[in-house]
Amino acid sequence: MKAFLLLTILTGFSLISLKTPLPFPVPKGFPPPVYKFENNPITKSGFELGRKLFYDGQLSKDGNFPCSSCHQQYAAFSTYEHRLSHGFNNQFSARNAPGLFNLAWEKEFHWDGSINHLEVQPLAPMLNPHEMAEKLDHIIYKLNHDKEYPALFNNAFGSPGITTKRVLLALAQFTVSLVSADSKYDKMKRGEAVFNQYEKTGYGIFQEKCEGCHKEPLFTDLSYRNTGLEVDSTLLDYGRMHVTGKKEDSLKFKVPSLRNVFLTSPYGHDGRFSTISDVLEHYNIGVIQSATLDTALRKGIALTDNDKFYLIQFLGTLTDTAFVNNPLYKDPASGRLTVDR
């Protein structure tokens, strides 16, 4: 009798824990998130479903291109060492895959801000013929005929049914939970670590020369800027102008976060720089004049070899090893091969 009572109670508990809202602790010093959690409260079952979808090739046409094929945890969820990412049928994405973290603070996504909400972002790669190349009704069909998903959606949303909206909400529960705020820099800010002399000097140079755009603590002010990169003659990418249709937005791209920058090479919207030194050399001597060039960069940013050395030392403190090793974010199907290219 007692055993039965206990069993009932335990099952009750585990059912509840699936529905428990997962807290979203805002790291100290961060602004309030812009993501509206009240419209999509994160629960354990919703987060786990989103994570499973993120690692599942079924969201792509031939099964080979889950989100994780281009967003790898060890590279802070960017595409490791690829200028552009591989997608369906040996095609390339049009831009460099950025790292995925601290998305809860972003209002617009992709290098040109063409995506107006985190929840609708997955539609872009899923339906892009160069990336996952799938169709929405096929995805819903495949998930409905899967052995596990119907029950998982039921658990996560409290009633049966797999819909576009639920797929998107679940994916967002996972991606919005990717928070990186435990680098040496963060520990220094919290008084748990101290910078060495190089890092300290680099931080000073950074605050003087870079902070205007790569604003702390997100290391981006999320604005769109032209940093004087020459247009790639094959990609012909004019950035923000494609979204707004305005000439004054020509060649502007979103300021990327520099958190985990050691892990996200190559750099720039089309991955044209293979190393951070190349980027710094661009600011130093490579800036090309044009009508929409950012006023802060009219004369470039003069950097001596010493400046560059210290800056790189500082940028190294932005690597968050706890984030890239966090078991919560790992592929739940352990032992299964994921595509690494």
Partner 1 sequence: MRVRSIISGHAAIRLFAMKKPVSIPLIISATCIEKWRLSKIEYFLICLLLFLITIPGIRSIQAAEGTFIGIRPPESPNLILQFEPTVHGQPLRLLEQYKNPFGEKFELSIFRFYAGKITCSGKGRILKKIFRISDYHLVDFSDSSASLIKVRLPEGDYDEIQFQLGIDSADQGSGAQSGALDPLKGMFWTWNSGYISFKIEGKSPESNEPEHAIAYHIGGYRSPNIAVGTVKCFISGHKSFHLTDDRAIRLNIPIELDRFFNGPTPVHIRDIPSCAIPGELAHRLFENFSGLFDKIEIPGKP
Nearer to partner 1, 26 or 123 (CB): 123
Alpha carbon distance 216, 214 (integer Å): 7
What phi and psi values does residue 224 have, to the nearest 5 degrees?
-110, 130
Question: C-beta of 307: minimal distance to ligand HEC in Å?
Answer: 8
Question: C-beta of 102: minimal distance to partner 1 in Å?
Answer: 18
Could you tell me which stretch among 113-121, 209-217, 228-236, 282-290 binds partner 1 (CB under 8 A)?
113-121
307 binds partner 1 (CB under 8 A): no
Alpha carbon distance 311, 240 (integer Å): 28
46 binds ligand HEC (CB under 6 A): no
Contact 83, 96 (CB under 8 A): yes
Contact 166, 45 (CB under 8 A): no
Question: Of ligand HEC, partner 1, none, which one does residue 12 interact with (CB within 5 to 8 Å by kind)?
Answer: partner 1
For residue 99, the Cα-to-chain-centroid distance in whole angstroms is 4
Q: Residue 237 is encoded by which pair of tokens?
A: 């990418």
Q: Residue 80 is encoded by which pair of tokens?
A: 């490791």
Please give the single-letter amino acid code of residue 228: G
* Cis bond before residue 217 (omega within 30° of 0): yes
Question: C-beta of 124: minimal distance to partner 1 in Å?
Answer: 5
DSSP, res 119: G
Size of the site for partner 1 (CB under 8 A): 37
Q: Which of 188, 244, 186, 134 is nearest to 26 (CA)?
A: 186
Question: C-beta of 149: minimal distance to ligand HEC in Å?
Answer: 15
Alpha carbon distance 187, 296 (integer Å): 30
Out of 45, 51, 83, 122, the only residue in the binding site for ligand HEC (CB under 6 A) is 122
DSSP states of 233-300 as a string? Answer: TTT---BTHHHH--GGGTTBEEPPP-TTGGGS-SBSTT--BSSHHHHHHIIIIIPPP-TTB-GGGTT-
Question: Of ligand HEC, partner 1, none, which one does residue 176 interact with (CB within 5 to 8 Å by kind)?
Answer: none
Q: Residue 68 is encoded by which pair of tokens?
A: 């994780």
136 binds partner 1 (CB under 8 A): yes
For residue 57, the Cα-to-chain-centroid distance in whole angstroms is 19
Which residues lie closer than 8 Å to 196 by C-beta, 6 or more apart? 313
127 binds partner 1 (CB under 8 A): yes
Nearer to partner 1, 176 or 261 (CB): 176
Question: C-beta of 244: minimal distance to ligand HEC in Å?
Answer: 15
210 binds ligand HEC (CB under 6 A): yes
Alpha carbon distance 178, 186 (integer Å): 16
Question: Of partner 1, ligand HEC, none, which one does residue 44 interact with (CB within 5 to 8 Å by kind)?
Answer: none
Residues lying near ligand HEC in the complex (CB under 6 A) = 54, 59, 65, 67, 69-71, 85, 87, 93, 95, 97-98, 100, 103, 106, 109-111, 121-122, 125-126, 131-132, 171, 175, 209-210, 212-214, 225, 227, 229, 253, 255-256, 258, 261, 264, 267-269, 276, 279-280, 283, 294, 296-297, 301, 311
Residues that bind partner 1 (CB under 8 A): 2, 5-6, 8-9, 12-13, 16, 36, 39-40, 114-120, 123-124, 126-128, 136-137, 140, 158, 163-165, 168-169, 172, 242-245
